[in-house]
Structure 1
Amino acid sequence: MPELDWANALDRLFDNPDDADVRPWAAARIEAGACTPGQRRAYELLTAGESVIDLLARTPHIAQQAVESAPARLLTIAPGDGEWDATQVIHHLADNEAVNAVRIRSILTEDTPEIFGYDSDPWARFFRLESVEDALERFVVSRRNTVALVKSLTPRDLDRKGVLSYRGAESLRVLLAVLAGHDRDHLDQLRATLDAAA
């Protein structure tokens, strides 16, 4: 058996969520903090048997409901110094979707391409250029396009790989699972931020 890393561990969990080699390996690394939040969440959703595509499709609507049901004054209250308020979380989701749209298309059209990595914190300087409503609409529309694209793919397409500077080579289906995990983390952050503001 090849030595496990997060990319092949998550790939194996798509095929067998109960993989007896992968689950203890992943649990140990999660306990040690040797993973990104998206990888940890991807592990959780795959081992729970959740559908990555369904999670990706639902996220914009959950974010939209959270924003639309909150009083406008709460959207710009951060829970603490250096933490994002609700509008910044939405802007980040929209920006991250734009980045992943390029990543997905690069993987589908190039042979094992280098995939664009970025530090999201400096991007926060651009958040106020766009209203939260516009950022939310951008996220909803972009994600709808991502989901339509992913639904059109074959298993062979999903096995194609890209190389991300901080995670290494991984298949498209793993990238999508990590994206779904990233969504879940930020939806939790959005709820907690609004609760704290209230």
Structure 2
Amino acid sequence: MEDLEKLKYPIGHFECPSEISKHHIESWIKVLERLPGRLTDLVQDFSEEQLETPYREGGWTVRQVIHHLADSHHHSYTRFKWALTENGPLIKAYDEKDWSAMMDAKSAPIELSLHYLTALHAKLVYLLNRISSDDFQKSYVHPDGNVIISVAENLGKYAWHSNHHFAHIYNLALRKGW
């Protein structure tokens, strides 16, 4: 059996650089820009059976991962906007496991989330490419531990999150020979 940690975190855990450079920001924005197309290309020919396959034992199905990406990145977009328009706002967290257990995450057509991610990421990339370097220093407070997260760090987290869940599906497809 494959190592559970490697199945859960195929690209490792997110590690934010102590100094976030312009290069980091540019490369992270590119990840966000490319995710919808990469994901669509990967899953567009998956059968219903493949979409119902968990990426690991006890893990979410491919369908749930795709819907989770849309839900999570929706929250992230809102967090970016709050940080950019308010002074260190306390954001609202959500229970991603409960959201992924909902009927829509388990049964809705993946095209809903793929189209949503395409539009959402286009808006997000447009925004991030046009804000100032000072804007990347703005922040919000996450209620889990009252952690202060800058716009730049949030960008890095969601670039990682994009690659993290893409790798779940990609690695599953490789293991299954899809």
For the aligned pair, the TM-score class normalised by the smaller chain equals 0.7 to 0.9
The reply to whether residue 158 of structure 1 matches residue 136 of structure 2 is yes
Question: How many residues are aligned here?
Answer: 158
What corresponds to 2:156 in structure 1? Answer: 177
1:180/1:80 Cα in 2 relative to 1: closer, same or farther (>3 Å)?
closer
SS in 1 for 2:101: helix
Q: Point out the structure with the larger helix share.
A: 1
Distance 1:146 1:79 in 2: 27
Asked if the contact 1:76/1:86 (under 8 Å) is kept, the reply is yes
Seq. identity, %: 23
Quick one: which amino acid aligns to residue 159 of structure 2? A
How far is 1:129 from its partner? 5.3
Distance 2:30 2:49 in 1: 31
Between stretches 130-139 and 188-197, larger displacement belongs to 188-197
SS in 1 for 2:93: coil
TM-score, with length taken from structure 1? 0.72
1:125/1:104 Cα in 2 relative to 1: closer, same or farther (>3 Å)?
same
The reply to whether residue 195 of structure 1 matches residue 170 of structure 2 is no
1:52/1:79 Cα in 2 relative to 1: closer, same or farther (>3 Å)?
closer
User: Could you give the per-residue CA deviations for residues 137-164 of structure 1, whole angstroms, max 9, x where no partner exists?
Assistant: 1111111111111111011111111111
SS in 1 for 2:131: coil
Distance 1:66 1:129 in 2: 19
Distance 1:162 1:148 in 2: 20
Distance 1:39 1:171 in 2: 15
1:84/1:156 Cα in 2 relative to 1: closer, same or farther (>3 Å)?
same
Larger radius of gyration: 1
User: Could you give the per-residue CA deviations for residues 20-46 of structure 1, whole angstroms, max 9, x where no partner exists?
Assistant: xxxxxxxxxxxxxxxxx6533x55xx7
Gaps of 5+ in 1: 1-36
Asked if the contact 2:55/2:62 (under 8 Å) is kept, the reply is no
1:38/1:179 Cα in 2 relative to 1: closer, same or farther (>3 Å)?
farther
Asked if the contact 1:112/1:163 (under 8 Å) is kept, the reply is yes
TM-score, with length taken from structure 2? 0.79
* Pairs within 5 Å for 1:98-137: 98-126=74-102, 127-128=105-106, 130-137=108-115
The reply to whether residue 149 of structure 1 matches residue 127 of structure 2 is yes
